[in-house]
Amino acid sequence: MLDLKTAGESHGMGIIALIQGLPAGFLVDKERIENELMRRRAGKGRSDRMKIERDEVEILAGVYKGKSTGAPIAILIKNTEHEKWKEFFEGKKTDEQLERYVCRPGHADYAGAVKFNHYSVRPVLERASARHTVAYVAAGAVFKAVLEQFGIFCGSFLTSMGRIKFTVPEKITFRDIENVWNNEMPVFRVDEVAKAEAEINQAKNLGTTLGGSACFCAFGVPPGLGSYADYSSRLDYSLGGLMMSIPSVKAVVIGRGLEAAEKNGFEVLDEFELSEDYVKRTTNFAGGIEGGVSNGEVIYGQVYFKPIPTQENPLKGYNLKENSIEKAFYERSDTFVGEAICVIAESMLAYAILKELLKKFGGDSKEDIRASYESYLKRIKWRRAEVLHW
């Protein structure tokens, strides 16, 4: 069973991604991991912290001559600013400013401090920080590379930011999505970038932050991944939970779920047709998943994320130490994290799909899995869906 665990704090020595259950023989490319982490750092609304921090990657275990061995894979993403915090973390240096006692609205500060009986919010914010998602992205780089060996490609793009709804074409290929990431923002209309920049600048002037939404999608997923036999085996159960684990994400939609709730069945149920003796659908409102099982169409959906809680113009927070209401603290933060959410969502999508693919076609090596996979494809009447119908 493929499994991902993470460890580490925002200003600790580093963040670790521990991958268990990946069979032997798959490429684990350090350069690709670093490139994905670079994508996560980029973005119009990102803070100067992204320029200061560098994601130094070290593969600690589970890889021999660039390929997985079948043993657990450990990837360390070093925190390059740790030396400045080391003495504080070790208790050799006391700094009330670094300790932090005021709980921010919208953050895990208060709930975490109460749950674990912390007198300071520092232990909470260090782990609840979105910094730990570097582990998701590092592992996601490995997962996506494995899926590509089976003709499955994961992508993403922004669909909204604050009050702005970005234009999305009716038909989208994976190449279109690759090209979107060559733009200044991962949106299809380059003329909409200027509106987005103006929105970000306005938020910066107000000392506040912005939320938005992003589409995640996977091309080339065969029918039959996941199961309706048990709730925990459903692909959408796994996918929804993983997407909700991304900091700031407050809602997940598979396919056109929001629109479907307002329409008649004949408007949103995806009818079948035969094309050259292959089964396909005339539409894809379901987002490639029916009954918890992939149906052979493009898998897609959206995540909706709230504005991040650390604001330059802080709101009222709760002081644990003084039992008082006062303005929350401000540390360097981003105004908009949409591009990072896109990359993280791709990683979670790849994790959910690969977990089910290995469960269905599992073996101890790449060759075993490929033989099982190709045998399955010969049995079913399916042709890869090349277009996402928005």
Q: At residue 318, does pLDDT exceed 70?
A: yes
Q: At residue 149, does pLDDT exceed 90?
A: yes
Q: Which fold has domain 3-389?
A: Chorismate synthase, AroC fold (3.60.150)
Q: What per-residue confidence (pLDDT) applies to 381?
A: 84
Buried b (16+ CB within 10 A) or exposed e, 86-97: eeebeeeeeeee
Domain range annotation of the chain: 3-389
Confidence of residue 81 (pLDDT cuts 50, 70, 90): confident
Q: Are strands 316-319 and 324-327 parallel, antiparallel or unpaired?
A: antiparallel
Q: What is the pTM of this model?
A: 0.95
Please report the DSSP string for 135-156 in residue order: HHHHHHHHHHHHHHTTT-EEEE
CB contact at 8 A, 229 and 221: no
Three-state secondary-structure class, residue 118:
coil
Q: At residue 158, does pLDDT exceed 70?
A: yes
- Report pLDDT digits (tens) over 242-274: 999 999 999 999 999 999 999 999 999 999 999
* Sign of the CA dihedral with 116 first, then 120, 126, and 128 last: positive
C-alpha–C-alpha distance, residues 215 and 205, integer Å: 28
Q: What per-residue confidence (pLDDT) applies to 121?
A: 95
- Report pLDDT digits (tens) over 16-49: 999 999 999 999 999 999 999 999 999 888 776 5
Which of 356, 384, 135, 319 has the alpha carbon at shortest distance from 230? Answer: 356
For residue 3, the Cα-to-chain-centroid distance in whole angstroms is 16
Q: What per-residue confidence (pLDDT) applies to 53?
A: 61
Partnered with residue 251 across adjacent β-strands are: 304
